Chains A and B, each alone.
Chain A
Amino acid sequence: MTSEAKDHAQLADIFNKDEARVDWHDETLWWVRAKRDKAVHQLPEWEELREAASQIKHNVLSNLNSYLIQFEAQAQANGITVHWAADGAEHNRIVHELIKAEGVTRMVKSKSMLTEECHLNEYLADNGIEVIDSDLGERIVQLAKEPPSHIVLPCIHKKKEEIGDLFHEHLGTPANLSDPQILTEAARVHLRDTFLTRKVALTGVNFAIAETGEFVVCTNEGNADMGAHLANVHIASMGIEKLIPQRKHLGIFLRLLTRSATGQPITTYSSHFKKPRPGQQMHLVLVDNGRTVQLGREDFRNSLKCIRCGACMNTCPVYRRSGGHSYHTAVAGPIGSILAPNLDMKKYADLPFASTLCGSCTNVCPVKINIHEQLYKWRQVIVQEGHAPALKKVSMQAMTWTLGSPSVYRAAGKMGRWVMKYAPFAINNGFNPWYKQRDMPEPPKESFGEWYRKNR
């Protein structure tokens, strides 16, 4: 992959070449963000829900050892086979063994960012196993041979005409289709056949309950259920941080998740898998892959509270105008920029710098992760460890110095406006308490590319 050699700023430059597309990408995500606001403002108890969710997740992280043991015992009592994988390679090996044991070479998979993180599809392809992603957006990027660019909206960067071309080429639909209704129907027919013919189905996990040993999978399309209920073998892959203590805690998380993600009150399907069907095998793979290391990093531990709603991406002025692929990691955007350096500090040294530190991500995060503060802390760690991206070293030092002194800007009229527009985090600091409960104003789009080129 050539993209791995390029850093975020260079990849963003490529994305920024098509100014009209950047505007469209930016506006589409801001529209999703606005839908989130509308849903959130209907719940007066929103802040209490966020606080409760954050505290529950804190309790989970601080008792993770015993919750994992409890969950395993309950799941086994329910008839679920539990596997443990210290890293992505072990996860992939376990999944491959299960497919081989069933004597098949094909699998259907619903959305799982963990399998993206582990590069499962590539591994299985190398071993002669065909994987079909069944989430419509994921299927589209799979046909395009691209990774998802957003954890909730995998093909948010694609135009409907491009999707029509992909379907024409791979699914045999007539040329030049671009009506979403017709394209979705074509995918429905294509994937229905897949669901009916695959004996092994893999799903992700949104939440797993220590108390009961069940796990919950949320989709709007129904693709996880279609795959799992028709397959002989259901494999569910989850990061160890997905546990929550009790069933009743789902009340908090299911209220927060989709409102934050898309502004819907809940996903169409919130399916609770507790026991396999008669005659079915249900396997659950618990994956570490760096999570225990992050758990030990006091400053970054809270990132493990993430419920993958995508709100921090939708609101991020850098994400919206640089696109998910510029982050060159499975989970893009602000949270991805905290998670990736934990896995490989050198390779992802650029990501914590791909932020204005405006704090909008932190303001929308349903589990109250201090995202922008962690990004700032990663910068310090990365510079200390000698991994600072070369181009950034000089400019970041200058930026840190000047933006660290808001008084400099307040004195200068023109520059002050510049800061308000392009670097509101200089205003959004402890000196301005009025800002605390506000979401960041959207920076004007026309000059973002210019700003980012100068400051990368």
Chain B
Amino acid sequence: MTDREKILAAVAQNQPESSPLPNISFFKGDEAGIVEKYINVLTTIGGQVIQVSGYDDIAAWITEHYSADQRLITALPDLKTAAKLFEPVTTGHELADVDLAVIRGHFGVAENGAIWITEELMGHRSLPFIAQHVAVVFNKSDIVPTMHEAYLRIGETEYGFGTFISGPSKTADIEQSLVLGAHGARSMTVFLLG
């Protein structure tokens, strides 16, 4: 018998009588004050939120906060005056010296500050993690209250890799002191459009 057969046989033998899945459709969050809530939560966990009316504001912010000798990359053509447009790479290693990555997000989640981002928005899977700093752009109207609405929205969409990112990389492993910038991005700036 292969290990697969052994395991499946043992499971079949030992699993209890089938019990049904619960209904979870009644879990819903509150839409009221959702933008403020999102900003509040993300700020509390170390992110920064900037409300902008268009891409020009974002480009101006990048130019103001970063210098031309830094490696700034964006996957958004609208920002190509402020950062270099992402060009396909064979491996993430080519991105190891990126100072700032600016990418698009699908939507945000008010209860935890997270943004859902899938692979095609990242350029390369490693970019939001390997860049020293990351900025994510999405529409103010694209905020959902909780993770329940988030998965309803994701539904059955196809992706090879997708992630919720909520703030900068962090650790509290040393005596529970919070330190931002563990292995991923040291800071996360969110541009809320609209």
Contact = CB atoms under 8 A, between A and B. Distances in A.
Output the residue of A65, A86, A220 with the most chain B CB within 10 A.
Answer: A220
B16 to A, nearest CB: 5
B67 interface: no
21 contacts: A49-B27, A51-B22, A56-B22, A64-B15, A84-B3, A135-B173, A140-B173, A140-B174, A153-B173, A223-B183, A225-B125, A225-B126, A255-B147, A265-B45, A265-B166, A267-B166, A268-B45, A268-B170, A273-B161, A277-B161, A288-B6
B8 A65 contact: yes
Given A48-B27, A55-B22, A265-B112, A240 B11 contact: yes
A32 interface: yes
A332 to B, nearest CB: 16
A275 B170 CA distance: 26
4 A-B pairs with the lowest CB-CB distances in the bound complex, closest first: A222-B184, A296-B14, A265-B112, A137-B173
A251 B114 CA distance: 13
A55 B18 CA distance: 11
Given A240-B11, A245-B21, A191 B92 contact: no
Interface in B2-23: 2-4, 6-8, 10-22
Given A52-B24, A69-B8, A221 B182 contact: yes
Chain B contact residues: over half helix, strand or loop, or mixed? loop
B183 A195 contact: yes
A49 B28 CA distance: 11
A292 interface: yes
Interface residues of A, number: 89
B182 to A, nearest CB: 4
Contacts of B109: 266
Interface string B126-151: 10011000000000000000111011
A286 B7 contact: yes
Contacts of A181: 177, 179
B65 interface: no
A407 interface: no
A225 B24 CA distance: 30
B154 A68 contact: no
Contacts of B114: 266, 270
A251 B183 contact: no
B27 A230 contact: no
B8 A222 contact: no
A18 to B, nearest CB: 16
Contacts of A52: 22, 24, 27
Given A229-B126, A267-B166, A298-B16, A28 B175 contact: yes
Contacts of B3: 84-86, 90, 288
A426 interface: no
A216 to B, nearest CB: 9
A96 interface: no
Contact of A159 (B2, B13, B171, B175): B175
B160 interface: yes
Interface residues of B, number: 71
Contacts of A230: 91-93, 126, 130
A124 interface: no
Given A58-B19, A222-B129, A298-B16, A268 B161 contact: no
B152 A68 contact: no
A229 B150 contact: no
Nearest to B18: A62
A184 B174 contact: yes
A226 B127 CA distance: 9
B182 A220 contact: yes
Contacts of B11: 64-65, 68, 240, 292, 295
A59 B20 contact: yes
Contacts of B10: 288, 292-293, 295-296
A61 interface: yes
A241 B7 CA distance: 12
Contacts of A185: 181
A1 B98 CA distance: 45
A418 interface: no
Contact of A61 (B16, B165, B176): B16
A225 B184 contact: yes
B185 interface: yes
A251 B164 contact: no
B60 interface: no
B125 A196 contact: no
A3 interface: no
